[in-house]
Structure 1
Amino acid sequence: MPKQAKLTQGSTFKHVAVMSFTGALGLMAMFLVDLVDMLFLSMLDEREAVAAVGFASTVMFFTISLSIAMSISASALVARAVGRGNIELARRRATNALGIGVIFSSLVVWILWPKIPAILHFLGADFKTLDLATGYLQILLLGMPAVMIGMIGSGIMRALGDARRAMYATLLCSVVNALLDPIFIFVFGLGIHGAAIASLIARLSMVVVTYYGVVSVHKMLGQFDLVECLQDLKPIALIAVPAMLTNMSSPLANAIVMSHAASFGDEAVAGVAIVGRIVPVVFGGLFALSGAVGPILSQNYGAKQFQRMHHALTSAVVYAFVYTVTLCLLLYSTQGFLVAMFNASDETANLIRFFATYGSYSFFFQSLLFIAIAVFNNLGKPLNSTLLNFGRATLGTWPLVSFFGFLMGAEGIIMGQAIGSVIFGCIGFIMARRYLQELETREEWALIESLPEDDLLASQTRG
């Protein structure tokens, strides 16, 4: 159990780097296995299977986004309580977030599962690709409650400053998946369905690590009380619902992109799907940035240390810039290897090369949006995150992808996404900076108004 709010002390850059790096390792390992899935399936010389994973991934990204939203809510509320020194409240919020998450994810599976073929057909999958994607997704969707537990548990541990154990849940999931993939795909000859079964078993393993970290180490799972759960439903929902809407904008953008890619044929869909697998592996350190900055902001907000909050934002920008430039150069130098590894040709290879050469640099601006989202989600204005992300997913995606797709063909899809990220990343970061300054000013006025008259006159005299 935490004795103090460790993120309110020490170097903010070190906290950002450690929290982001450990979060990135977990995410990158998880998405690396997805990339290996794609590699194994490409070895089957069955282009429809690769395209099927691309279509199914759009829906899976939606369900994972819901889990991430619940994790954001749990992390923000637990970290804020820890920053105030109220460990009992932190334990109660952690318990109720897990309970609500399990119930909610089970309902999502029950609603979505019978509608999978219709959803995939709407996204543009047809014929053999539709059949393969349906079977893949029907198996994988059953693991959503396990993913929800794993994500919320990791968020709770990050809120406590235990980034290392938060990373272990996704690392174990990735190791199990990597070991089982070739067995189910090749040894048992199950192909794309074998990849789904391996992923399902791996996601169930996340529950084991989460239980150990949250319950055995930190003692953060209390007695479930229905009355308290209903009382906590509102504060959890006030963060989780806008965060869900925020995260759902990403699968919306992916659906728009995949729909446009489908108009250029299966090779373009495969190219976009491969790029979609490369992105989280290479830029996992940026995807983890929001989850890393959030607990730092929340703990320091609970402790009313605004200067450290400003330093945390600056540290996050520096980290994002160095990370992006380094990884973009690496990606550019290895693009030939990536093309060869996926046995890509024609349109698929062109899309991989175009992204590695040009589109990848837009992820610095995407990271600015991630930082802004962390500010708004953790400091009381999650609706701003929703508006920003939906703006990027709609105004920053559909018209730009359509326009540049018309001018440049399939490569224009990547160009349109990149320009949208630049625009909304800059807008979001400026808004976040102003909001943090507004919170600080509001707190200063509240402090002045709470001073006794003699202390107020003395403070004015000193000023």
Structure 2
Amino acid sequence: MRHVSVMALTGTIGIVAVFAVDLLNFFYLSRLGDKAVAAAVGFAGAIGFFQISIGIGLTIGIGAAVSTAIGRADGIEGSAAPRIAATSLIAMAVITLALGLVTAVFRNPLLDLLHATGETKSLAALYLLITCPALPFMIIGMGGGALLRSAGAARRAMNVTLYGAVAVAAMDPVFIFVLHLGLEGAAISTVLSRAFMTLLGLYYIRRQGLLGRPDTALARADLTQVGRVAGPAILTNLATPVGSAYVTHTMAHFGVAAVAGQAAIDRMMPVAFGVIFALTGAVGPIMAQNLGAGRTDRVRETLRSSLIFMAIAVVIAWAVLAAAQNGLAIAFSSKGVAADLLHLYCSWLAGSAIFLGALFVGNAAFNNLGRPGYATVLNWGRATLGTIPFVHVGAQYGPLGVAVGQAGGYVLFGIAAVILAFRVINRLDREHPVKLPEPIIAVPGGRNAVSNFETDGT
């Protein structure tokens, strides 16, 4: 529990910092009092969610491969981890640059699919044009954090994204209000903060000894190892923005105010419940290292501790949201339907994050225990069977019904993920039973000795 708590809390600060950038942008832009601008951020965020999900999938693959390499070699020195890290970062830069450029070129057709129109569409297209080509900066910064967590450098991993958020918090007011650039200024400050994250991430992983030299002869094998987890992880993570995009598309039928309200919730939710996003990246390396060392008993304890930690954190955050909902409505200039959606979420729907967190913890187990396909099936099930029918029925009762329908789909798949994760670990136990070292028995007249293996859970 201590190991999970340290990694999750530092990871939470880091991941919250990433999403806080979007939340700060939305907060500053909402002060302009223009619902079209707020809705534009919502539409652009729905498309950006796809990009981030692909990046998270890549970082999960890198983290799993590097953690396993460290676990097998009992440390970074002498392991293949630095070489795998360097090769993977280069591949990540190429892939995300191509993705960013393609998104920028096809931004208007993509916005049409989300039912964006008029001034809102034009503003969203401008935001995407500026931010999409800078996608590699953000993803490499996230990749640096994943590599640092793989080596147990939780504080450095946290600092990468935390300082990036501090940078955008300082630059946003200047570009938006002082220079009067509005939405364009928010996009520029976002690009600059992402570039800062990349530089800091590369600096830290080099200091950690994780930035080696890529070997062209072994590059294919290294990337194949990363791809075994990254490929299914990308498919898994893409399910979430697909479900979110459907919700945004449905909300668009109820007007700009409904989209603006949903946009506020979408940016507030990962900040309030950053712990459930952080757990995916934080507990994965713990599981992978212990799996590499043959300690499935510690893998099971990691899963159990993660679920307990997640549930406690979600309940605390839910209570804070419920208490602060009136202030949040004022801060985001939410009125009418937008305010109704925000109050509904803070009072009741935020509790569904427990089941979403259970699904994410299960996904972390599947991705790092050789069963990434399970995570893919469950996440896509939630994004389709757990979203589309529920949201469609809810839409018959208006935008509030859409929000209720989205939350309702979390329950079934969260429970299924937990049950399946424990079954996977039980199967690993049967295939590879744990053999603990024999304790040393005290000898008469000699020094008392204790068992020679660690029991601190790390």
Of residues 381, 392, 413 in structure 2, which corresponds to 1:391? 381
1:162 is aligned to 2:153:
yes
My pick for the range that moved more, 228-237 or 84-93, is 84-93
| Match in the other structure for 1:458 | none
Q: Per the alignment, in what secondary structure is the counterpart of residue 395 of structure 1?
A: coil
**Which residue pairs with 1:132 in the alignment?**
123
How big is the shift at 1:445? 10
- SS at 1:288's partner residue? helix
Deviations 1:13-61 (A, max 9, x none): 1111111111111121232232221121111111100000000001111
Name the structure 2 match of 1:23.
11
Specify the alignment match of 2:44 in structure 1. Answer: 56
Pairing 1:125-274 to 2, within 5 Å after superposition: 125-215=116-206, 217-274=207-264
Instruction: Write the mapping of 1:81-120 to structure 2, written as runs, cut at 5 A.
Output: 81-85=69-73, 87-120=78-111
Q: Which runs of 5+ in 1 are unaligned?
A: 1-12, 448-463
- Residue aligning to 1:278: 268
DSSP-derived class of the 1:88 partner: coil
Match of 1:72 in 2: 60
TM-score normalised by length of structure 1: 0.91
**Could you give the per-residue CA deviations for residues 280-313 of structure 1, whole angstroms, max 9, x where no partner exists?**
1100111111111101100100111111111111
Cα shift readout 1:341-365 (whole Å, capped 9, x = no counterpart): 1121110000000001111001011
Residue-by-residue CA offset, 1:331-387 (whole Å, 9 max, x unaligned): 111111111111211100000000011110010111110111001111111111111
Contact kept in structure 1, 2:82 and 2:213, CA below 8 Å: no
Matched, 1:312 2:302: yes
Question: 1:354 is matched with which residue?
Answer: 344
Q: 1:404 aligns with which of 359, 373, 394?
A: 394
Say if 2:416 is the partner of 1:427. yes
1:221-241 CA-partner distances (Å, limit 9, x unpaired): 222222211122211111111
> How many residues are treated as equivalent by the alignment?
433
SS in 1 for 2:116: coil
Secondary structure of the structure 2 residue equivalent to 1:221: coil
Retained in 1: the 8 A contact 2:97–2:134?
no
Secondary structure of 2:311 counterpart: helix
CA deviation vs aligned residue, 1:265-287 (integer Å, no higher than 9, x gap): 11110010000011011001111
C-alpha separation in 1, matches of 2:236 and 2:114 = 20
Following TM superposition, where does structure 1 have runs of at least 4 consecutive aligned residues deviating by more than 4 angstroms? none
| Residue pair 1:401, 1:412 contacting (<8 A) in 2 also | yes
Letter in structure 1 aligned against 2:265: V
CA distance in 2, matches of 1:421, 1:220: 37
Partner residue, 2:331? 341
Query: Residue 318 and residue 445 in structure 1: after superposition, are their counterparts in 2 closer, same or farther (change >3 A)?
Result: closer
Is 1:363 aligned to residue 353 of structure 2?
Answer: yes
The one of 295, 300, 303 aligned to 2:290:
300
Aligned partner of residue 345 in structure 1, secondary structure:
coil
Which one is further off, 396-405 or 218-227? 218-227
**8 Å contact kept, 1:97–1:152:** no
Determine the structure 1 residue equivalent to 2:452.
Answer: none
- Contact between 2:49 and 2:241, CA under 8 Å: does it hold in 1? yes
Rounded to whole Å, the distance in 2 between the matches of 1:226 and 1:122 is 41
**In 1, Cα distance between equivalents of 2:323 and 2:245:** 30
User: Which runs of 5 or more residues in structure 2 are unaligned?
Assistant: 437-458
RMSD, matched Cα: 1.4
Q: Distance in 1 between matches of 2:49 and 2:390?
A: 22
Alpha-carbon distance in structure 2 between the residues aligned to 1:349 and 1:110: 36
Distance 1:435 1:402 in 2: 34
TM-score (norm 2): 0.92
Q: Report the AA paired with residue 112 of structure 1.
A: T
Letter in 2 for 1:279: M
Aligned counterparts of 1:383 and 1:110: Cα–Cα separation in 2? 29
Aligned partners of 1:142 and 1:200 also within 8 Å: no
